[in-house]
Amino acid sequence: MFKRKQSDASIPLLSHNENESIQSKNKSTLFGKFYGEKIETSTTNEKSSSRKTVSFIELFQFADKWDILLLIIGFSLSFIQGFIFPWMLYLLGRLCGTFAQRVYDQCLFVASSQCPFGIDINTIPYNQYYKLCHSNNSAIQSLMEDYPDFHKRIYHLIVKLIVLACIQFFVSGISYMVFTTTSKRQTNRIRQLLFRTILNKTLTYFDTHSSTEWYMKLSSNIDHIALGIGDKLTTFITTSLYSLFGMIICLFIYWPLAVLLFIIIFWNFFLINYLSTVITRISVDEMRTYAKAGGVAQEGLSALRTVLVNNAVGFIIKRYTNYLDLVQQYTKKKSIVFGLIHSTLKIVTYLFYVICLITVIFIFRHFSEKNQPSINDILTILTVAGICLGLVTQAGAFSVFVSEAKGAAVDVFAMLNEDKTTNEDINDDKHLRTEASFNNIQFNHATFTYPSRPTTYALNDISFSLDRGNTVALVGHSGSGKSSCIQLLTRFYDVTSGEILLDGINLTDYNRQWLRQHIAIVNQDAAIFSTTIFNNIQYGNAKATRKDVIEAAKQANAHTFIMALPNEYDTMIGSRGFNLSGGERQRIVLARALIQQAPILLLDEPTSALDSHSEVLFQQALYRSCQDRIVLIVAHRLSTIRKCSHIYLLDHGQIVESGNHESLMTLQGLYFKLVQAQQQYNATEIVTDMLSDDNDNEMRYRHVSSGDKNVSLLNTNDTTSTKTKYPFFTLLKLARPEYNYIIIGSIICLIYSGFDVLYSILLGYSVKHANFAVAATAFIKRLRIKALTAFFRQEVGWHDRQENNSTALCVRLSTDADDVKRLLNIRIIFVIQAIGTLFIGTIIGLIINWRLMLIVNIQLIIYALVVAGIIYINERNTIVHNKIVQEATTLTVECISNIRTVRQLGKDKDFSNQYNALIDQTELPTQTIVVLGFLSGIRHSIGRFAVGILYAVGLKFVDDKLLSLDEMTIVFVYAIFISVGTMITEMAAAEIGRTGTASRNFVNLFERQSLIDIEASNKHKPNSFNSDINFDQVTFSYPTRPHIKILDHLSMQIHRGQTIALVGPSGCGKSSIIQLLTRFYDVDDGHLFIDNNDIRSLDVDWWRSQIGLVNQEPILFDTTIKENILFGCQYRSESLPTDEQIIQVAKLAKIHDFICSLPQAYETNVGVEGTQMSTGQKQRIVIARCLLRQTKLLLFDEATSALDTVNEQLIQQALEEAHLNENSTTIIVAHRLSTIQRCNMIYVFNNQGDIIESGTHETLLALKGIYYRMITAFTH
């Protein structure tokens, strides 16, 4: 049992493991606060990889020979680029020094006593000497004689500067192209290898790992790796080399000052290395934690209908927020560490100036004139060293990219390099067979336990045989071991002891891939892939022609409904086949199995989702196809196996009875009791062949005209979204709570840019980064929460679109937020700082000499155009890249979800090739790379060209008396600062394009008005609900199939306290009525009244709180049994249900005894998607959840179709007891009359979705109409 909690706050919003993970964060040491604590509840893979880091060299371990060549070229070009810039600074320093020396040489006097004007030369600035000494004719004569040589030296330096700028243009452009190309090639290869590795994992691995773990690694983690080994890497390398080569240049100029520079550079690189180590360790935990947050989002979005109908959006958002809180803590740690180290780097740079000046003064006082540096040398060293050291601080910022790449690579590379025992060896060299005919399969004392449950026997010493030409059936309760036999035959698992022989040879001696190619299997859960119907069927046999596909569809009774679809066999059916009914999906799977023509046919509940008419047709096709095959059927419907050659009854993993149907009935044992229990159901099983006219092939798709043949099942038009011109600034409105932090940080950036010489830099930088860290992390957290909430706010029809599947939305939630965060967190600091530098420098330059500043402004205009071009191209590429990655990630989740089908069909390589083809499309076209390289070369060299031109023009202005030499020097200094400012700005240019795309996606999402707004405040909330329902001339078609009418002028009344049944063939619109009642969709025409109120006028949350829904496929969440029963109750206005109430509904659902038998009882975790529970157990937990809500309208959509007889009887009793309240209304959708014969009203639908009969069971029998003929046809 469990103790009763006192309030809803005490109900954990995270699972038991999740709570332990969070609590472990509070046990941090001092260093742990910066390095980040490891998640103790990580998977085995995470625990092993958490003790290992990825070195810089290991980031390139998946580079091929061409990538290595490109890397050698790229690093060489970076080496050259790292040398060019300091050398250009050396030339600029020489230019500045030459001008300064010229100003210094204007006065020929060295002592006050020599000055005829009596000026104190030791105190008056040199620019005043220049003005006062014009009267010194001897000085002027000397200067005029030296002026041509001065010109020559200046132009010589300018030519060198222009030449280096040209080299810079080519080197930087080619370097960008090389690193962009090789990073894309390597990351694409990593994605493809990781996808292939995932498909090669054993099923045991899939049983213990969440699919979210993989798609996060394939998307977010690899995106971080791409940034760390791409053009950001070349920027990091070149900025780091600046200081190294700057030091070498200074060493040749004047070595004492170079030694000082060497000490400072060593210290800076020590800090950068420490920063890299800390960021790497924190990034590992940050990404793992966000993967768990992404898992919560994926879990909620993939179970959207369950979340919505239970009003549990708040529960999902809260769990998601709890993980984001941890992510936010990690991000703050990284930002604080970066701020402290970056500010230290900055203050060291300014200390260099101070120490350098002190050293110069010391040298001038204590060294002889011969050993003293010239003014030219001093200014050159200050120019080269100062700017290079300043850029090294930016290298610290770009080291974050490399560090995050190393952190992201830890788990990715660990999976790629982990022990191969977790891989399934499908290409082993074991025994191969060339003939495709098998005679016998023998189970000899086979015992088996699932690796995830080693103490529980799934099979216990069973022996039986399967012979060619015979059909063998396995029957028994849920969990008796029937499906385990099929899993062993397909070698998804191997026996623990004993053996399985195929033609006398142990099954483990066969090649897995070859074996599976000769086995056709149909599972209870129809595995459909997001492609055309033709491809889905042809997956069973790649050599099958279109004629073969059509014939297989006819045998599976699927041809008629396929031909009525818009594009027939070429119709795209969407993700997981959601655009088809369950019966339609199952028939496509049956066709796929039949077309395979395999010598072994395994059927695991193949007809569970079929109506009885389709089941009879399938049985006929099955009996025709059983000749010369080994056939094994697992079934709960005993009517399916009556004609089987042999029947084995399993109980608790052992065979308790065997024989054919007649002999087992004569035995009057357990099988006899099962048949007796089902007779009341099977005798009145609905056979819907009378519902369809053999001559009428139009079905419900008759509404599709011939002009609509090109219509897909997917309709992606969205007229409710708007376009925003400036999405990023619109998005920043969400940061209103952080405006104080942003404003303070921005002001400090601007102050810093105007007053670089102040010694409050350490404080300024620390506060600057701290404020932006707080603002950015809080903003991104709010952005993600708002986006996830907006996803849930959209109507279900929006989610039905291919581009809005749950996986694609989770990828957008991760990657788009990351793109915005990258600009906000660090780069926006550089942008604001650079803008301030450019603005203030431009104003001062205009004041001094507007003519020269016009040249500088032309440079800025050209630079702005280049950056705009880069942003435009990057934004366009980002849109294409994200779309392809979403498609690839969707394919990944689809393959993982259907991994057994993928393995059995042997389509591993096919899907791998399909994934590879998608990823290859993300590679940029050559012309795009060339254009980006060209623009990159311009943006890196334009400042150098501008400074060279500025000096040439400035010298001309000096000659024309339009500018003095001292003014020229000042403008030159500001020009250099402006050049550096553009360099800083270009660091963020590449991110702005990605941020623009991400911002636009978020803004469009937030501004989109949902067609069914769950947050509308003007909707009606009645004080009571009498459960009277009226369908008045309702017409409905799904939004993704607007040309196909599902319901056409349907009229139906349901009164308070009634139990209503909806029966009919698969796809006739029964489940659509349930979806309309839950307001997943709205009617196209007509009205749906609830107590005389149009359902569209009611508050959505209030209305759904009146509904309890149980679907055919039970949905559980990765948390405890208790929390699954409470699901949706945590955020109701009423008090939280007590433990006694939970136990009461569990007893009603016939699940309490089972729960109490578990070691942790109600605190037992059900696993990802409830994998630790059987189907019957999951269904009873869902029913307990439904009963706990105490709603007045109960909806059961095939709630028992997938269950065995015992479980069905238990659940049927629970449903009947749930309806004991006379005020509640129940609507049941069923194929089996066993669940509906006691209903107050039965509505019988035909294929077109029309009601053809209605009344009670007895009334319909007395009418002797369609309903009567259905029953009599079956019983005879």
Question: Can you tell me the mean pLDDT for 1019-1046?
Answer: 81
| pLDDT, tens only, 1107-1145 | 888 887 788 887 888 888 888 775 555 567 888 888 888
Q: What is d(CA 596, CA 517) in angstroms, rounded to the nearest whole number?
A: 9
Helix and strand element counts for the chain (H, E): 43, 20
With residue 1048 as reference, give the H or E element that holds it.
Answer: strand 1047-1054
Q: What is d(CA 512, CA 424) in angstroms, rounded to the nearest whole number?
A: 9
User: DSSP letter at 581?
Assistant: -
What is the separation of C-alpha 996 from the centre of its chain, rounded to a whole number of angstroms? 19
Residue with tokens 């507007």: 850
Which of 1191, 1199, 1259 is closest to 1225 using CA atoms?
1191
User: 1069 and 1040 in contact (C-beta within 8 Å)?
Assistant: no
Which of 870, 1234, 1192, 1157 is closest to 1022 using CA atoms?
1192
| pLDDT, tens only, 37-50 | 433 334 444 444 44
Which of 614, 591, 479, 440 is closest to 526 using CA atoms?
591
Percentage above 70 pLDDT, the chain: 68
What is the separation of C-alpha 925 from the centre of its chain, rounded to a whole number of angstroms? 25
Question: Can you tell me the mean pLDDT for 494-518?
Answer: 84
With residue 648 as reference, give the H or E element that holds it.
Answer: strand 646-651
Tokens read off for 529 = 């892939």
Q: What is d(CA 576, CA 475) in angstroms, rounded to the nearest whole number?
A: 29
pLDDT over threshold 50, residue 297: yes
Q: Where is pLDDT greater, at 892 or 374?
A: 892
| pLDDT, tens only, 957-970 | 777 777 666 666 66
Q: 601: which strand partners?
A: 520, 631
DSSP letters spanning 43-59:
-HHHHHHHT----TGGG
DSSP letters spanning 1114-1139:
----SSBHHHHHHTTTTT-SSPPPPH
Name residues whose C-beta falls within 8 Å of residue 850's C-beta, 6 or more positions apart in sequence: none
Tokens read off for 1001 = 């996606």
pLDDT over threshold 80, residue 499: yes
pLDDT over threshold 60, residue 6: no
Q: Reduced to 3 states, what is the DSSP secondary structure of residue 7? A: coil
Torsion angles phi and psi, residue 347, rounded to 5: -65, -35
| 915 inside domain | yes
User: 235 and 242 in contact (C-beta within 8 Å)?
Assistant: no
Residue 547, classified by CB atoms within 10 Å of its CB into exposed (0-12), middle (13-18) or buried (19+), is: exposed
Give the CB-side neighbour count of residue 376, counting CA atoms within 13 A: 11
Q: Where is pLDDT greater, at 204 or 812?
A: 812
Q: Where is pLDDT greater, at 498 or 1189?
A: 498
Q: Where is pLDDT greater, at 357 or 463?
A: 463
If one counts every other C-beta atom within 10 angstroms of the C-beta of residue 123, the result is 8
| 461 inside domain | no
Q: Are residues 984 and 1074 in the same domain?
A: no
Q: Are residues 982 and 1066 in the same domain?
A: no
Mean pLDDT highest for which of 86-95, 347-356, 1072-1081? Answer: 1072-1081
Burial 12-46 (b: 16+ CB within 10 A, else e): bbbbbbbeebbeebeeeeeeeebbbbbbebbbebb
Tokens read off for 679 = 């007779």
If one counts every other C-beta atom within 10 angstroms of the C-beta of residue 1009, the result is 11
Q: Are residues 1099 and 958 in the same domain?
A: no
Q: Are residues 385 and 257 in the same domain?
A: yes
Q: Are residues 1048 and 982 in the same domain?
A: no
Q: 471: which strand partners?
A: 631
Task: Check residue 578 and give its pLDDT.
Answer: 65
| pLDDT, tens only, 981-1023 | 666 565 566 666 667 777 778 888 888 888 887 776 667 787 7
| 1175 inside domain | no
Domain limits at 1092? Answer: 1027-1106+1232-1276
**CATH code for the domain in which residue 1042 is found:** 3.40.50.300
Tokens read off for 797 = 């029809």
Q: Are residues 740 and 856 in the same domain?
A: yes
Residue with tokens 């003007």: 1018
The pTM of this model reads 0.73
Residues in the chain: 1276
Question: Can you tell me the mean pLDDT for 190-209?
Answer: 79
Q: Are residues 925 and 1046 in the same domain?
A: no
pLDDT over threshold 70, residue 372: no
**CATH code for the domain in which residue 399 is found:** 1.20.1560.10
Torsion angles phi and psi, residue 610, rounded to 5: -100, 150
Q: What is d(CA 655, CA 181) in angstroms, rounded to the nearest whole number?
A: 61
| Of the candidate ranges 11-20, 256-265, 430-439, the one whose mean pLDDT is the lowest | 11-20
* β 600-604/1047-1054 pair status: unpaired
| 566 inside domain | no
Residue 1275, classified by CB atoms within 10 Å of its CB into exposed (0-12), middle (13-18) or buried (19+), is: exposed
Tokens read off for 766 = 């620390």
If one counts every other C-beta atom within 10 angstroms of the C-beta of residue 445, the result is 12
Q: Reduced to 3 states, what is the DSSP secondary structure of residue 446? A: strand
pLDDT over threshold 60, residue 1095: yes
Q: What is d(CA 548, CA 607) in angstroms, rounded to the nearest whole number?
A: 22
Of the three residues 998, 1013, 1040, the one that is the final residue of a domain is 998
| Of the candidate ranges 766-780, 854-868, 898-912, the one whose mean pLDDT is the lowest | 766-780
Angle, to 10 degrees, between the axis of helix 850-897 and the axis of helix 908-920? 170
Q: Reduced to 3 states, what is the DSSP secondary structure of residue 175? A: helix
Task: Check residue 1242 and give its pLDDT.
Answer: 85
Task: Check residue 1026 and give its pLDDT.
Answer: 76
CA angle (784, 787, 791) in 5-degree steps:
140
| 1164 inside domain | no
Q: Where is pLDDT greater, at 1149 or 121?
A: 1149
pLDDT over threshold 70, residue 668: yes
DSSP letters spanning 267-287:
HHHHHHHHHHHHHHHHHHHHH
Number of domains the chain contains: 2
Q: Edge-to-edge strands of the sheet including 1241-1245?
A: 1107-1110, 1193-1197, 1225-1229, 1059-1063, 1241-1245, 1251-1255
| 64 inside domain | yes
pLDDT over threshold 70, residue 440: yes
pLDDT over threshold 70, residue 1216: no
Task: Check residue 69 and give its pLDDT.
Answer: 92
- Name the average pLDDT for the chain: 73
Phi-psi label, residue 628: left if phi above 0, alpha if psi -120 to 50, beta otherwise: left
| Of the candidate ranges 185-194, 876-885, 1231-1240, the one whose mean pLDDT is the lowest | 1231-1240
Task: Check residue 115 and give its pLDDT.
Answer: 55
Q: Are residues 162 and 80 in the same domain?
A: yes
Q: Are residues 876 and 936 in the same domain?
A: yes
User: 1037 and 797 in contact (C-beta within 8 Å)?
Assistant: no
AA letter at 607: T
**Long-range residue pairs from 506-510, CB within 8 A, at least 24 positions apart, any chain:** 508/430, 509/430, 509/431, 510/430, 510/431, 510/432, 510/433
pLDDT over threshold 80, residue 925: yes
Q: Are residues 867 and 983 in the same domain?
A: yes
Task: Check residue 817 and give its pLDDT.
Answer: 79
| pLDDT, tens only, 223-238 | 888 888 887 787 788 8
| 817 inside domain | yes
| Of the candidate ranges 118-132, 449-463, 1047-1061, the one whose mean pLDDT is the lowest | 118-132
| 1273 inside domain | yes
When pLDDT is cut at 50, 70 and 90, the band that residue 252 belongs to is: confident
Q: Are residues 740 and 793 in the same domain?
A: yes
Name residues whose C-beta falls within 8 Å of residue 125's C-beta, 6 or more positions apart in sequence: none
Task: Check residue 485 and give its pLDDT.
Answer: 87
Task: Check residue 771 and give its pLDDT.
Answer: 54
* β 1085-1090/1059-1063 pair status: unpaired
| Of the candidate ranges 436-450, 474-488, 696-710, the one whose mean pLDDT is the lowest | 696-710
Task: Check residue 1220 and give its pLDDT.
Answer: 53
User: 1108 and 1191 in contact (C-beta within 8 Å)?
Assistant: yes
Q: Are residues 988 and 1086 in the same domain?
A: no
pLDDT over threshold 70, residue 770: no
User: DSSP letter at 800?
Assistant: T
Task: Check residue 58 and give its pLDDT.
Answer: 84
pLDDT over threshold 80, residue 735: no
Phi-psi label, residue 810: left if phi above 0, alpha if psi -120 to 50, beta otherwise: alpha
User: 1145 and 1187 in contact (C-beta within 8 Å)?
Assistant: yes
